[in-house]
Structure 1
């Protein structure tokens, strides 16, 4: 069951395309949902982190690049507040006309 779930998330394949060697995709999907709802995955992660920390194997390296992180629309120069400024005339009305 865990191999099937890992395969699905590692490859990004749709549930319906899960290889038959893992059994029914519906069974795997339902088990994943039940384990997520009852806190099984949280307990597994906590236990694995505690074990790795006790053995000195826990090291956090985080890499973030622009393919993962996107700026909020306001960070891209969008107008933040207030009414739009009125358009400015480029030449005073009483200026001589150019021929």
Structure 2
């Protein structure tokens, strides 16, 4: 059993913004709420995709769907529609809660300033 983060009233507002509804062309989405809960879990915990609990489905399928939605601007639409609602402030993603992997922080000792080629030639 998955413990939901979104309340029913919040989910009803979000449901209309998500792709894969019966009225949309193409294949309808399997379970948008479960997928959105998986994304919120990932953001809250900060764990790698591979550590996604099995209740949310196969991690690779969830990741691929996340990439499609990100490329198609779905999360931007959700953010724009809900950013003025204070009840959703805990569910919004910003850079203050997303940690960089240790290999993405740069070289050991920090950045060094190197002179440009023009200065070295002079």
- TM-score normalised by L of structure 2: 0.42
Please provide the CA RMSD for this pair.
Answer: 3.4
Q: Give unmatched runs, 5+ long, in structure 1.
A: 58-62, 64-71, 75-80, 82-99
Counterparts of 2:79 and 2:51 in 1: how far apart (Å)?
Answer: 27
| Bigger RCO (CA 8 Å, 6+ sep) | 2
Counterparts of 2:44 and 2:84 in 1: how far apart (Å)?
Answer: 24
Larger Rg: 1
Counterpart check, 1:26 vs 2:49? no
Deviation at 1:15, TM superposition (A): 0.9
Counterpart check, 1:6 vs 2:35? no
Q: Which runs of 4+ in 1 moved over 6 A?
A: none
Q: Give unmatched runs, 5+ long, in structure 2.
A: 1-34, 90-95, 97-110, 114-118
Aligned length: 69
2:75 maps to what in 1?
41
